[in-house]
């Protein structure tokens, strides 16, 4: 049974109808449940407390997923229910649930839904989820949203786990590098509208130097929107012209929505 069905069944058991606001603090799965009772409704305090107790038991079930959000409503709960019924990303969901730090599980789960909605063109839902992730756990929420959207979970984090933990039994080193990836994403630059060409260029150059320490041979620069695409192309031309960092080549992939999304890969010697 999915989360939404569980919640509806609990409401049915205590026989009351209300507006429910759930303020989530997903790092430790502690959730405060504020129940707003309609004026004039015949609902006992005992019924509400029974519901609270049952809901907390539901929250403690680690097989139930929650979005990383400060305001779970029936709409966001429905997002979870729909996603859990789908076949999308089942292996990644299993990896997140079983292998990644508990403090980040709801963030990665939210980011997978965000990525799905982006691919479906649901811009309003994407913007809402990203705001919620940023609010729920800054800066990790926004960072994980960016990493997941660019598919670094499967291209970097999953292979890193397989190599360090499954093959070499070094869980500690994996967690250390994982933390660096989440907080600094050393192999990627995400360009936003408020950043200048100079700041973008400086970050790219810094990360090209940094990735060599990890044995990676590429830094990718990602941007969405026409203005960001133009910024990235200007900076790419500058770096290619100077070529002070022994860049072997650059690959430019402009795709989705008539070139409004871009990825530039700086390939290193």
Annotate 170-182 with DSSP letters as a single string: -HHHHHHHHHHHH
Say how many CA atoms lie within 13 Å of 34 toward its Cβ: 9
pLDDT of 16 above 50 = no
- Is-contact 185 140, C-beta < 8 A? no
Question: Which residue ranges make up each domain of the chain?
Answer: 3-75, 186-269
Note the pLDDT of residue 157: 93
Note the pLDDT of residue 245: 61
CA–CA distance, 169 with 166 (Å, rounded to integer): 6
pLDDT band, residue 202 (cuts 50/70/90): very high
Q: CB neighbours of 169 closer than 8 A, spacing ≥ 6?
A: none
Residue 89 zone, left/alpha/beta (φ > 0; ψ -120 to 50; rest): left
Higher pLDDT, 154 or 30: 154
Task: Determine the average pLDDT of the residues in 42-70.
Answer: 60
Q: Tokens representing 61?
A: 């079930």
SS3 (DSSP) at 143: helix
pLDDT digits (tens, 9 = 90+) for 214-268: 778 889 999 888 899 999 999 999 998 887 667 888 888 765 445 578 889 998 8
pTM of the model: 0.68
pLDDT of 60 above 70 = no
Higher pLDDT, 41 or 20: 41
CA–CA distance, 11 with 202 (Å, rounded to integer): 54
SS3 (DSSP) at 34: strand
pLDDT of 8 above 70 = no
- Is-contact 108 68, C-beta < 8 A? no
> Pairing relation of β-strands 30-36 and 188-191?
unpaired
pLDDT band, residue 62 (cuts 50/70/90): low
pLDDT of 210 above 60 = yes
Residues in the chain: 269
- E-strand stretches of the chain: 19-25, 30-36, 188-191, 218-224, 247-255, 261-268
- Percent over 90 (pLDDT), the chain: 28
pLDDT of 164 above 50 = yes
- Is-contact 141 147, C-beta < 8 A? no
Note the pLDDT of residue 192: 86
Domain 186-269: state its class: alpha beta
Lowest mean pLDDT among 65-74, 118-127, 177-186: 65-74
- Is-contact 111 78, C-beta < 8 A? no
pLDDT digits (tens, 9 = 90+) for 68-121: 555 555 566 667 767 877 888 999 999 998 999 988 888 898 899 999 998 888
Higher pLDDT, 66 or 262: 262
Query: Cα torsion for 124, 125, 131, 132, to the nearest 10°?
Result: 150
Note the pLDDT of residue 175: 93
Task: Determine the average pLDDT of the residues in 47-66.
Answer: 60
Nearest to 204 by CA among 154, 156, 140, 268: 268
């Amino acid at each position: 049974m999915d989360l939404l069905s569980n919640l509806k069944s609990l409401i049915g058991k205590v026989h009351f109808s209300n507006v429910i606001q759930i303020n989530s603090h997903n790092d430790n799965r502690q959730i405060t449940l504020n129940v707003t009772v309609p004026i004039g409704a015949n609902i006992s305090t005992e019924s509400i407390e029974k519901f609270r107790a049952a809901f907390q038991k539901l929250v403690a079930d680690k097989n139930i997923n929650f979005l990383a959000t400060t305001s779970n409503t029936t709409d966001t709960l429905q997002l979870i229910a729909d996603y859990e019924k789908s076949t999308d990303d089942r292996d990644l969901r299993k990896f997140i649930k079983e292998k990644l730090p508990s403090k980040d599980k709801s963030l990665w789960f939210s980011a997978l839904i965000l990525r799905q909605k982006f691919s479906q063109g649901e811009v309003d839902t994407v913007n809402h989820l990203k705001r919620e992730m940023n609010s729920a756990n800054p800066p990790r929420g926004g960072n994980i949203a960016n990493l997941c959207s660019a598919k670094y979970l499967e291209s970097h984090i999953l292979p890193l786990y397989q190599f360090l933990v499954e093959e070499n039994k070094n869980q500690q080193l994996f967690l250390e590098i994982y933390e660096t990836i989440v907080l600094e994403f050393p192999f990627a630059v995400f360009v936003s509208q408020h950043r200048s060409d100079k700041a973008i260029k400086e970050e790219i150059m810094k990360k090209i130097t940094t990735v060599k320490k990890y044995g990676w041979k590429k830094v990718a620069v990602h941007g969405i929107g026409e203005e960001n695409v133009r910024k990235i192309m200007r900076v790419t031309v500058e770096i290619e012209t100077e070529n002070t960092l022994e860049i072997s080549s650059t690959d430019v992939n402009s795709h989705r929505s008539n070139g409004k999304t871009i990825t530039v890969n700086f390939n290193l010697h």
